[in-house]
Amino acid sequence: MSAEQISGEYNFAYLDEQTKRMIRRALLKGLAIPGYQVPFASREMPMPYGWGTGGVQISAAIMVPEDRFKVIDQGADDTTNAVSIRRFFEKVAQVETTEKTTEATVIQTRHRIPERDLTEGQVLVYQVPIPEPLRFLEPSEVETRKMHALEEYGLMHVKLYEDIARHGEIATSYAYPVKVEGRYVMDPSPIPKFDNPKLEMSGIQLFGAGREQRIYAIPPHTQVVSLDFEDYPFQRMKAPQCCDLCGAGESYLDEVITDDAGGRMYVCSDTDFCRERREAGHVGALGVAEDAA
């Protein structure tokens, strides 16, 4: 019996040290082979699968007491999922948490990359539901692993071909497949394809799929290319509007239905980015000027 259990406390960041070492080994392998899916012995976490157990295990494995931890769910710091995971680590690791992208050292995310560029030393941890980009067309895991090993990626383009054949364009708008460092095809998790160009960044990106027991990673400054056709090149897409709160024209927007008469507004999906802009005095069409500024 360890001291923690006798005293009724959790080990730092919930996971036992053995498990954390196992996960770190998987992370190091993932960083050494960018885009390659490393199998790992995913643990039961005190939350259901689908709530980010893969991301939580990675965060737990890399966390040190000095970290400042931020969690976003589709860009927002204030959703149930984000709040729950933040509170979880406040409780089991007593780390400082923050909503500010610039201040955070570890950012766990579900389905977004923060608008503000990450810098060296920052780590972005993704929650991944289905890590295998080829799964859509090839149900056999044995076969997909072989395809990765042999770089047989024609099938990935079959998926894009089907998109164009059916919709007249590559309609895949999230979880858009990328090729990492000219070698492995990777599912960037269900981030909007608007975020794909930001996958080439200064920070470290770690991806965890708890249920599927896979970890993969992109080291800083790694080449990440979105797949496309010569005559249907990759296109970054967002709503044509500007943020109604902060007026930003270049950020990824959420559409918010405001009444049952068709009223709607567009707001930055990255709540921290939007707050920062508003604090700096930017005002959108439906926004109110910040008094504090």
Partner 1 sequence: MKDMTDIDTGPLLRVEGLAKYYGSRVGCEAVSFDLHPGEVMGIVGESGSGKTTLLNCLAGHLAPDRGHVLFDRAGRMVDTVTMSEPERRMLSRTEWAFVHQHAHEGLRMNVSAGGNVGERLMGLGARHYGNIREQAVDWLGRVEIAEDRVDDRPTAFSGGMRQRLQIARNLVTGPRLVFMDEPTGGLDVSVQARLLDLLRGLVREMGLSAIIVTHDLAVVRLLADRLMVMKSGQVVETGLTDQVLDDPQHEYTQLLVSSVLQV
Beta-carbon count within 10 A of 253 CB: 23
Q: Which residues contact 211 (CB under 8 A, 6 or more apart)?
A: 42, 49, 50, 53, 54, 129
157 vs 238 by CB, closer to partner 1: 157
What's the CA dihedral at 192, 267, 74, 170 to 10 degrees?
A: -10
DSSP state of 43: P
Instruction: State the nearest-atom distance from the C-beta of 200 to partner 1, in Å.
Output: 21
Q: Which contiguous run of DSSP H or E holds residue 126?
A: strand 123-127
Check residue 199 and report its DSSP letter: G
**Least Å distance between CB 173 and partner 1?**
18
DSSP 176-196: --EEETTTEEE---S-BGGGG
The dihedrals phi and psi of 205, each to the nearest 5 degrees, come to -115, 125
Q: How far apart are the first and last CA of the chain?
A: 54
β-strand pairing of 38-39 with 214-218:
antiparallel
Beta carbon of residue 229, minimum distance to partner 1 (angstroms, whole number): 4
Pairing status of strand 224-226 against strand 178-180: antiparallel
The catalytic residue positions are 35, 243, 246, 268, 274
Least spacing, CB of residue 132 vs partner 1, in Å:
16
Closest to partner 1 by CB, 121 or 229? 229
For partner 1, the closer of residues 231 and 260 by Cβ is 231
Report residue 144: phi and psi, to 5°: -65, -35
Minimum CB distance to partner 1, residue 237 (Å): 18
Residue 10 or residue 234: which is nearer to partner 1 going by CB? Answer: 234
Contact 214, 131 (CB under 8 A): yes
**Residues interacting with partner 1, by CB under 8 A?**
137, 146, 150, 152-155, 157-158, 161-162, 164-166, 228-232
Which of 147, 206 has the CB closer to partner 1?
A: 147
Q: Residue 71 is which amino acid?
A: V
- Chain centroid offset of residue 9 CA: 30
Report in angstroms how near the CB of residue 151 gets to partner 1 at its nearest: 8
- Check: CB of residue 70 under 8 Å from CB of residue 59: no
Closer to partner 1 by Cβ: residue 63 or 175? 175
